[in-house]
Chain A
Amino acid sequence: MDAVSPPSKAPFSLTQRLDEALKQPKLVRVLKLMLFVACLWPMVEPPLHLYLDPLALGANPAEHIIRDWGDWALQLLLLTLLVTPLRLWLGVGGLLRFRRMLGLFAFAALCLHVLAYLGFDRFFIWDEIWADLLKRPFITLGMIGFVLLLALALTSSRAMVLRLGGALWTRIHKLIYPAAILAVIHYWLMVKRDVTEPLLYACLLFMLLAARLPQVRPWLKKRRS
């Protein structure tokens, strides 16, 4: 009987197979393209919707758009922060290949978010924008977050990694932690009364940051076996 069946391979787990698959450049390229579209769509959808139907976004389309873009920026930021814990937990190193794209899309959504605020809310009147920056803590903190993420975006290329050297580059890119914390505080302060949603984001962020503690990392890795 055993003479007929082909020699069976070692039993691969799903995550091991994923890890293998992510070593094929062709597949990675396809997955990246899919991720690209998935990241882009929520940025394009609100204005497209509005263009097709002026009442589609309700009475206050500008607020709708600013919030959608803000939400997406924050969600992508958290997804970016999820890559490392997930990689440790699943043992799929190849996930790292998608991190830069997630981070850059978070920054792109953020740029739209800020641009929409500058234009729709403040009508590009710089005195008023400056006054807002000084006066409204949620804008001040958001802007600090934006500047931090700008630094990350500018140093995100491979060339920059080489130029700065791995150690310095890693140190700079740890700025994503304070940026994400500022983003959640920004959301919290912006809410009038009901803090349910910012609280939810705060909990998620707390878990993502906790996963990086030296006490937690080995535990994540152990779960794999």
Chain B
Amino acid sequence: MSDFSKHDAIQSPRLIKSLRYPVPAGSEITPEAVYLNRRALLGMMGAGLASVALPEESKAASKIEPLAAQKNAKFLPPSDPPTDIKLATSYNNYYEFGTSKSAPAREAESLTVRPWTVEVTGEVMKPRRIDLEELMRLQLEERIYRFRCVEAWSMVVPWIGFEFRQLAALVEPTSKAKYVRFTTVARPEEMSGLRAKLPSLDWPYTDGLRMDEAMHPLTLMVVGMYGQTLPNQNGAPLRLMVPWKYGFKNVKSIVKIEFLEKQPEGSWTKAASNEYGFYSNVNPQVDHPRWSQKRERLLPALFASRETELFNGYGEQVASLYAGMNLRFNY
């Protein structure tokens, strides 16, 4: 059950059924209507009709295809149901498409996400340009992660992806590889934010991880969410997801991955190093100058009543990475 192409998935009703993530009984949240309707429809229509445009989908979503992956039972939401897909795909920080949170859902449609290749270089034995299709054949799985933004809001999202380790194995990092830098695509002709007179950040967008962070089994390369390929505004076709760090670390629409000897400086750190550090682990004890990080608003709640957990609740898995480090200094 490791390797599903999109067509296998569509043809197998059994599998489609198993993809539903658990929604707590009696949950009064707005159901993932778009997601589940589409699933039901696809199930009924069977293979071959997957490309029929469904009326409730926006134009931007027309490129989105169903994507099957085995659900990883270890990563079910502890208590919270996944955020409504409509919210997760309409409230995005993606400055390449404008600085407001609603802009990416409108503007990102213009990004061409197929064909797509990722250049993987640096301190590796086998530097390569890897086609997205090849990555899609790696072992994909669905994991439900908490997502915590530095702006003190959070969501719960069912991502589909593969562990970064799988990608690293394809290029064989050398012993000199101490860090990994991820770079977002930068195409002014397709990305309105890059054409802005006052650039909001230094393009292209980059950020990085320490090697052991990148190789951690929680570190995911994401190609889909909510049972579909990624919408452009969420970083299609390939993005990073490191659930114990603040959201901005999760570089979107990745075209380059470099294994480096020296610690790289991310775009936000470059813009304001006192606000956004290299580690940027979720930590309620370390405030951002603009936002208290003690609590968070689990969207779409009105009240920021939820207490933020160290490492976003993934401390059991990742705290050992930072043993002996002063997290206040290494923010």
Residues of A within 8 A of B (CB): 54-55, 58-63, 119-123, 128, 131-132, 135-136, 138, 190, 192-196
Classify chain B's interface size.
Answer: 20 to 34
Q: How far is the CB of A206 from chain B (nearest CB, A)?
A: 19
Q: How far is the CB of B242 from chain A (nearest CB, A)?
A: 21
Say whether, besides A55-B300, A59-B88, A128 and B30 are in contact (CB < 8 Å): no
Say whether, besides A60-B101, A193-B99, A55 and B287 are in contact (CB < 8 Å): no
Task: Give the contacting residue for A58; candidates B87, B152, B201, B295; CB below 8 A.
Answer: B87
User: B198 contacts which chain A residues (CB < 8 A)?
Assistant: 194-196
User: B91 contacts which chain A residues (CB < 8 A)?
Assistant: 58-60
B96 interface contact, C-beta 8 A: no
B305 interface contact, C-beta 8 A: yes
User: B297 contacts which chain A residues (CB < 8 A)?
Assistant: 60, 62, 120-121
Task: Give the contacting residue for A193; candidates B88, B155, B200; CB below 8 A.
Answer: B200
User: A138 contacts which chain B residues (CB < 8 A)?
Assistant: 290
Residues of B within 8 A of A (CB): 30, 83-84, 86-88, 90-91, 95, 99, 101-102, 152-153, 155, 198, 200-201, 271, 287, 289-290, 292, 294-295, 297, 299-305
Task: Give the contacting residue for A136; candidates B86, B289, B295, B301; CB below 8 A.
Answer: B289
Task: Give the contacting residue for A55; candidates B84, B99, B152, B153; CB below 8 A.
Answer: B84
- Closest CB pairs A-B (n = 4): A59-B91, A59-B87, A194-B99, A193-B200
User: B99 contacts which chain A residues (CB < 8 A)?
Assistant: 192-194
User: B30 contacts which chain A residues (CB < 8 A)?
Assistant: 54-55
Query: What separation, in Å, do the CA atoms of A59 and B83 have in the docked complex?
Result: 9
Total residue contacts A-B, CB cutoff 8 A: 73
Say whether, besides A135-B287, A193-B99, A194-B200, A62 and B303 are in contact (CB < 8 Å): yes
Judge whether A123 and B304 touch: CB under 8 Å.
yes
User: B304 contacts which chain A residues (CB < 8 A)?
Assistant: 62, 120-123
Query: What separation, in Å, do the CA atoms of A9 and B299 have in the docked complex?
Result: 65
Q: How far is the CB of B230 from chain A (nearest CB, A)?
A: 17
Query: What separation, in Å, do the CA atoms of A143 and B100 have in the docked complex?
Result: 25
Judge whether B271 and A55 touch: CB under 8 Å.
no
Query: What separation, in Å, do the CA atoms of A120 and B102 have in the docked complex?
Result: 21
Task: Give the contacting residue for A60; candidates B201, B292, B300; CB below 8 A.
Answer: B300
Task: Give the contacting residue for B294; candidates A55, A128, A194; CB below 8 A.
Answer: A128
Q: Which residue of A lies closest to B91 (CB)?
A: A59
Task: Give the contacting residue for A119; candidates B86, B90, B152, B303; CB below 8 A.
Answer: B303
User: A135 contacts which chain B residues (CB < 8 A)?
Assistant: 287, 289
User: B299 contacts which chain A residues (CB < 8 A)?
Assistant: 59-60
User: B152 contacts which chain A residues (CB < 8 A)?
Assistant: 121
Judge whether A193 and B95 touch: CB under 8 Å.
yes
- A58-B101, A58-B102, A60-B153 known; 4 new pairs, CB 8 Å cut-off, are A54-B30, A59-B101, A59-B300, A193-B201
Say whether, besides A54-B300, A60-B300, A193-B200, A123 and B84 are in contact (CB < 8 Å): no
Q: How far is the CB of B289 from chain A (nearest CB, A)?
A: 7
Task: Give the contacting residue for A123; candidates B201, B287, B289, B295; CB below 8 A.
Answer: B295
Judge whether B287 and A61 touch: CB under 8 Å.
no
Judge whether A62 and B302 touch: CB under 8 Å.
yes
User: A190 contacts which chain B residues (CB < 8 A)?
Assistant: 290
Offer 23 A-B interface pairs, CB within 8 angstroms, sorted by A: A54-B30, A55-B84, A55-B300, A59-B87, A59-B90, A59-B300, A60-B101, A60-B297, A60-B299, A61-B300, A61-B302, A62-B297, A63-B153, A120-B302, A122-B292, A122-B304, A123-B295, A135-B287, A138-B290, A192-B290, A193-B95, A193-B200, A193-B201
User: A196 contacts which chain B residues (CB < 8 A)?
Assistant: 198
User: B95 contacts which chain A residues (CB < 8 A)?
Assistant: 193
